[in-house]
Structure 1
Amino acid sequence: MKRVLFAAIAAASFGLPAFAGDQYVDGTGFAVSGYDVVAYRDLAQAPVGSAQPEAVPGKASYTAEYNGAKFAFSSAENRDKFTANPEYYAPQYDGHCAYGVSKGGKVPGNPNLWRIVDDKLYLNITKNVVGFWEEDIPGNINLAEGNWPGIEPDAASDRVIPNFTSTAPNKG
């Protein structure tokens, strides 16, 4: 009897959508403030302790929907790469600050304060936070991964990114 009940519950759960938290979207109306998440993969990543290259602005004419939000891209090619594998390109923690998640909360991620670790894109909120994040990236990722299941269902942050003004998406 237990086996039948378990099988029925398991079968029913396959028909349910995966639960995901809200993607962080700022005043631009776009995820990642309208910057192209695919383009990060083509940027030369700076060593820990150095500033990363600035993110590539997306264009309003190249967009895709994912996780309840609109993403902008600098080209149709990048948009198509994203739609083929959005989980690979989308930032971790629904675009929230990775260090903030490691501390148990959701705060916005700044698209210019990024790092790719183990093929995953992480954002942070301020330059000071990047310093804390970089003191122990693997440890902070481990903490964030432990915290994320408990805070993912919470609403997306409604805060603005400090000292940041988006230049994306471009009208092109």
Structure 2
Amino acid sequence: MKSLVPLFLLFVSVSFSQTTDYNTKKGFAANGYDVVAYFDNKSVEGHKNFVTTFDGINYKFSSKKNLNTFTKNPEKFVPQYGGYCAYAIAAKNDKVGINPEAFLVKDGKLYLFYNELILTFCF
């Protein structure tokens, strides 16, 4: 019985470590903004006609083209840190909401921030 305890703890830690806590303000990732558009250096609010779900999280898109692009490779477009402010997570380990207009795409990854001013100081 004692030998099963470490195995159980390993299973529990692996199971929980794979779960991402997503920021879903307004019921959508990125506050309902189009995560594909960010990769074109645009912050564009999604439309209710172009919606999909990935990993249990709802996403909105500004066009059918962007929706289709996302569904082909959703992992590429999912915001880092579950869509919480990247600076607040990195600097303070604090989950803070975002301003969907404050973003950075770096090395093929999307980072969202609570404030555009952060981008001026950090990047």
Q: TM-score when scaled to structure 2?
A: 0.78
What do you get for the CA RMSD once the two structures are aligned?
2.4
Read off the aligned partner of 1:66 and give its amino acid letter: F
Are residue 23 (structure 1) and residue 11 (structure 2) matched?
Answer: no
Read off the aligned partner of 1:33 and give its amino acid letter: N
Q: Which residue of 2 aligns with 1:153?
A: none
Shift of the 118–61 alpha-carbon distance from structure 1 to 2, 3 Å rule, reads same
**How many Å separate the matches in 1 of 2:23 and 2:106?**
20
Matches within 5 A, 1:72-91: 72-91=60-79
Are residue 123 (structure 1) and residue 112 (structure 2) matched?
Answer: yes
Q: What is the aligned length?
A: 113
Shift of the 18–66 alpha-carbon distance from structure 1 to 2, 3 Å rule, reads farther
Matches within 5 A, 1:4-19: 19=18
Gaps of 5+ in 1: 1-11, 44-53, 135-172
Percent identical among aligned pairs is: 38
Are the equivalent residues in 2 in contact too, given 1:20–1:67 (CA < 8 A)? no
Q: Which residue of 2 aligns with 1:58?
A: 46
Q: Which residue of 2 aligns with 1:107?
A: 96
Structure ranking higher on relative contact order (CA contacts 8 Å, 6+ apart): 1
State which of 34, 41, 46 in structure 1 corresponds to 2:39.
41
Residues 31-65 of structure 1 deviation map (CA, whole Å, 9 limit, x = unaligned):
1111111111223xxxxxxxxxx511111111111
Which portions of structure 1, spanning 4 or more consecutive aligned residues, are displaced by more than 4 angstroms? none
Gaps of 5+ in 2: 1-10
